[in-house]
Amino acid sequence: MADVNLTVDGKKVTVPAGTLLIEACRAAGIEVPAFCYYPGLSLCGACRMCMVRIEKMPKLQTACTTPVAEGMTVHTETPEIAQARKATVELLLGNHPLDCPVCDAGGECELQDMTFKYGAPTSQYVEIKQHREEQQWSPVVYFDRPRCIMCYRCVRVCGEGMDVWALGVQNRGAGSVIAPNRQDHLDCEECGMCIDICPVGALTSDTYRYKTRPWEMNHVATVCTHCGDGCKTTLGVRRADDGMEIVRGDNRDKSGINEDFLCIKGRYAFDFANHPDRLTKPLIRQADRSFATATWEQALELAAKKLKEVRDTKGPDAIGVIGSNRTTNEENYLLQKFARTVLGTNNIDHHRTADYVSFVRALAGKADRAASLRDAGTAPAILLLGNDPTEQHPALAWALRTNVRLNKAKLFLVNTSDIKLRRQAKAFLHIPEGGYADAVRFLGSNDADFHGIEGAADFRDALRAEPKLLILFGSEFRGHDIDALVSFGLSLPDARFACLADYANSRGAADMGLLPDLLPGYRPVAAPGPFAEEYPNLPQKPGKDLIEMFDAAERGELGALYVVGANPVERYNVDPASLKNTFVIVQEMFLTETAQIADVVLPAANLYEKGGSVTNSYGDLQLVKKAGDRAGVRSDLELIVRIADRMGAKPQQLVPFGRGLRADTGQSRGAQSGEADRHSIWLASRQIEPKVSPFDPYAVLDEIARLVPGYDVERMNLLAGNDVRTKLVSIEPAASTTRRDLVLPAQDALFTSGTLGRYSAKLAEVHESHRKSPAETAAD
Amino acid sequence: MSPEMNSVPNTIFSPELAARFDKLVTLYPARRSALIPMLLYAQDEVGAVNDAVIAEIAQRIGITELDVRNVISYYSLLHTKPHGKFHVQVCTNISCMLRGGNEMLAHCKEKLGIGNKETTPDGIFSLEEVECIGACCWAPAVQVNYDFHDNLTTEKMDAVFENYRQKAGKS
């Protein structure tokens, strides 16, 4: 659009035509205060705080509803404007309780800030303030009516943003009040967006209300540990007797890939970390089958001794390793490196929730066709096959809704059920159960008819006319279905793809090679390439997958099983008796079904209690930062290194720390050529310092960046807290295309989150309250 | 909009009103424009915009019940609880106030033995203090259902009550 020139407070500003004056001012670094205006939501003009003087206009104008015009001259801070804002604040404070010292928002309240800046020390009002008791609207949301300043932000974010429309405004004038959709309570997605967006303390959360003061916390922006979207959540932590306690989760800095959004899990489901059942001491199985607490020394020694014993007596093939979807890339990488080089086995797997292997193979050589989550917010057209993002990928659903609302993006859906995003969809192809393969075949074909569904051909033709289509698909697609879908997409001019998985680091686990047949970066174990040099003793034969490990255990052939942050016994319904002859080592936060049958349980830190990086479903790499801390637990990274150390492995060969492996920058010629310390050279060439601790995740990240194709990302950008694209590069199409389909979708919905969800009191409470309500309706 | 969205299978309204509503939602560029007329017609037929009315109207228009409640709560002419057979609305806005509107309200309260926004036990009368009803020239004025009574004195008001009481007895 054409640019418009205007003058704001004497500054020349040039912005595209159609820009709102308030945004133009902000772009020029001039803040115009506003309560009701919120970028991306509909305009409201209710609060009258953004009043500015525009020359040649008779009265003060609201900057939030005025589009810029050529030659406009604007003043944003004059005595007249200050007086107007002062009067507005005075009116707002007319019935606003001055309970700031106990209000949750005190210290980070927009009304407080405005009162500080413009407010009068006195008030003309002598009327008694109307008090109303606080109301609980849901397990999450509390409403304190007198604090409300009627900015309508909550109403709009719930309706327009979330497409839930659970909040409304009732009555009129001074009696206006925000009302929930079920008269005295809310029936909603419990996302907490209304609480976050509230400029004052009128909407508060059950999790945080009256807990602490904002300035008593440290705020750590890290990545949510729940679903595969990788939202940034800001955790407020406070000193507790046994470490740092997480007391709040919110979206304070809004710098993440999720932008304004955060769902209930990112906001309130951090509480598993504070669960009373949290393990804080190592446990060792006694002769009478009971657990006894042990010292770290005893537990690590025993674990290492047993692993070594099994390796040396029964052979490496008698050991199985199961990794996690919720540990960092560094831990996943290290775990597979430990398995492959120290234990000497390829028997390593994880709970797969999407078929990334097929996805990478299908997209081989076309790294630019892999989409980021950010593309969902900008693509002009999106095709979503399977999945229900509202339940499984809330940030994706938000991005799609926002894209449709603000950019008029076209959303095409193919699904077996009538998912909620249908309300935003331009076209919906409702296919019969199990019809995804058929649907893809139909999209690629010229058939006139598809199961007799009306408009199916139009749907296909509309898709084919899209020059820039974003194709998202759920775990319904595996193996050859992915191939078919990708080849359909590649027939379009510029289609991009994303494969949706269920957990915070599902993608990272696959990328880092927690797979029996593939090394990090999906390199086949039989053709290890650079790993042949890097990994001494790398076995060339693909190992056992997760199911085969348990089969081997049943046959009594599995001497030891090392499980890191996973619960396969529950997930795969393993008979505990089948593991009676297997020495089981489990690194876990809780005594899960798997931990209960373990011989050694090592209490582990969770994703909120350590540093490292995670990769979301779309391949966006982000750093996680240590927020909480619990006395007694250790990170999985540290535990792997310590076990390896006690097995006699050289930690330096596992984690490249200190002055390199050979303390030698090598010779390029002569007898010593090839002896170069590749890692040191790689670091030096990128001006990265060597790391000094074997427990430093960044040391492992260095090796990942060096060895895993696509992970050599811009380090500064990553360190700055941004999401960075990894490139999906397949070294060569894997020879075997007849891999076993081991994808087991997590089946998590909005209020569940695998094993973690069971230990989150808030999620459980919300889940329970939502499970109950349909029954209540049915009864009457 | 598909035609089947217009009609509701188990309507709580009379066939005539249901047919009227079926048509009403098609008359405006946006369906929800039909909301206020629908609420007024429904209130006249049912006696109040109760939960069942709200649910059906929300369904007919395709908006949430909350949206319907938001509108109802805005307008004082819409009420969710049934009134008496004759709803006595006493104006106490400026013109009527100057001409004895407040005294008229007090008289009505005493005469009917009920307070503002209450209904007599026999369900014949209900009383409400209202803002300007547009009869300032003939203040003080009272509106009973849709009928105006103006230039009132307490004696004239008593006659009005008597008249309605007899009507109530007849029907």
Task: Give the integer Cα–Cα distance in Å for A585 and A594.
Answer: 10
Burial of B9 (0-12, 13-18, 19+ CB in 10 A): exposed
Residues A374 and A422 occupy one common structural domain = yes
Residues A110 and A61 occupy one common structural domain = no
Residues A101 and A24 occupy one common structural domain = no
* Contact status of B77 with chain A (Cβ, < 8 Å): no
Instruction: Tokens 């500064």: give the residue.
Output: A716
Q: Which overall architecture, per CATH, does domain B86-170 show?
A: 3-Layer(aba) Sandwich (3.40)
Q: Is A524 helix (H, G, I), strand (E, B) or coil?
A: strand
* Contact status of B69 with chain A (Cβ, < 8 Å): yes
pLDDT at B2: 42
Residues A97 and A29 occupy one common structural domain = no
Q: What is the DSSP secondary structure assignment for residue A340, as one 8-state letter?
A: I
Q: Which residue in A168, A171, A172 is closest to B66 by CB distance?
A: A168
pLDDT at A293: 96
Residues A434 and A461 occupy one common structural domain = yes
Instruction: Tokens 């249908």: give the residue.
Output: A422
Beta strands at A141-143 and A73-75: parallel, antiparallel or unpaired = unpaired
CATH code of the domain in which A363 resides? 3.40.228.10
Range of the domain at A166: 92-205
Residue that terminates a domain, selected from A176, A205, A234: A205
Q: Which ranges of chain A have pLDDT less than 70?
A: 1, 659-676, 729-739, 773-780
Does A631 map to a domain? no
Residues A379 and A496 occupy one common structural domain = yes
Mind telling me how many Å the CA of B71 is from chain A's nearest CA? 7
Task: Give the integer Cα–Cα distance in Å for A246 and A371.
Answer: 33
Of A158, A181, A423, which to mutate for an interface test with B (greatest number of B Cβ within 10 Å)? A181
Rounded to two decimals, what is the model's pTM? 0.93
* Contact status of B65 with chain A (Cβ, < 8 Å): yes
Does A437 map to a domain? yes
Contact B74 A170 (CB under 8 A): yes
Q: What is the Cα gyration radius of chain A?
A: 28
Residues A64 and A97 occupy one common structural domain = no
Task: Give the integer Cα–Cα distance in Å for A580 and B13.
Answer: 70
Through-space distance between the first and last CA atoms of chain B, rounded to whole angstroms? 43
User: Chain A residue with minimal CA distance to B71?
Assistant: A170
CATH code of the domain in which A53 resides? 3.10.20.740
- Number of separate domains in chain A: 3
- In chain B, where the domains are located: 3-74, 86-170
Residues A425 and A450 occupy one common structural domain = yes
Hey, what are A132's tokens?
Answer: 């109303």
Contact B66 A172 (CB under 8 A): no
Mind telling me how many Å the CA of A126 is from chain B's nearest CA? 24
Task: Give the integer Cα–Cα distance in Å for A53 and A573.
Answer: 69
DSSP codes of every residue in A350-368: ---SS-HHHHHHHTTT-GG
Residue A103 identity (one-letter amino acid): C
pLDDT at A663: 47
* Contact status of A181 with chain B (Cβ, < 8 Å): yes
Does A610 map to a domain? no
Does A475 map to a domain? yes
CATH code of the domain in which A113 resides? 3.30.70.20
- Which pLDDT tens digit goes with each residue over A592-622? 999 999 999 999 999 999 999 999 999 999 9
Instruction: Write the CB contacts of A630 (distance below 8 Å, at least 6 apart in sequence).
Output: A242, A243, A273, A278, A280, A605, A609
- Which pLDDT tens digit goes with each residue over B72-81? 999 988 999 9
- Which pLDDT tens digit goes with each residue over B83-104? 999 999 999 999 999 999 999 9
Residues A25 and A116 occupy one common structural domain = no
Residues of B in contact with A165 (CB under 8 A): 64, 66-67
Residue that terminates a domain, selected from A445, A475, A500: A500
Residues A372 and A492 occupy one common structural domain = yes
Does A530 map to a domain? no
Q: Which residue in A165, A166, A170 is closest to B69 by CB distance?
A: A170
Of A42, A41, A73, A45, the residue nearest A57 (C-alpha): A73
Task: Give the integer Cα–Cα distance in Å for A544 and A731.
Answer: 22
Bridge partners of residue A75, in order along the sequence: A53
Hey, what are A214's tokens?
Answer: 């904002």
> Strand A3-8's sheet: what is its strand order?
A11-16, A3-8, A73-75, A51-54, A61-62
- Which pLDDT tens digit goes with each residue over A390-448? 999 999 999 999 999 999 999 999 999 999 999 999 999 999 999 999 999 999 988 88
pLDDT at A119: 85
Residues of A in contact with B69 (CB under 8 A): 168, 170, 179, 183
* Contact status of A166 with chain B (Cβ, < 8 Å): yes
Contact B66 A179 (CB under 8 A): yes
pLDDT at A779: 38
* Contact status of B64 with chain A (Cβ, < 8 Å): yes
Instruction: Tokens 């087991």: give the residue.
Output: A744
Residues A631, A635, A636, A641, CA torsion sign: negative
| Mean pLDDT for the stretch of residues B106-131 | 94
User: Chain A residue with minimal CA distance to B74?
Assistant: A171
Beta strands at A600-603 and A381-385: parallel, antiparallel or unpaired = unpaired
Does A730 map to a domain? no
Residues A363 and A496 occupy one common structural domain = yes
Residues A68 and A195 occupy one common structural domain = no
Does A176 map to a domain? yes
Phi-psi region of B76 (alpha: psi -120 to 50; beta: other; left: phi over 0): alpha
Q: Is A285 helix (H, G, I), strand (E, B) or coil?
A: strand
Does A60 map to a domain? yes
Residue that terminates a domain, selected from A500, A516, A540: A500
DSSP codes of every residue in A701-727: HHHHHHHSTT----HHHHHTT--EEPP
Task: Give the integer Cα–Cα distance in Å for A532 and B53.
Answer: 75
Distance of CA A577 to the CA centre of its chain: 36
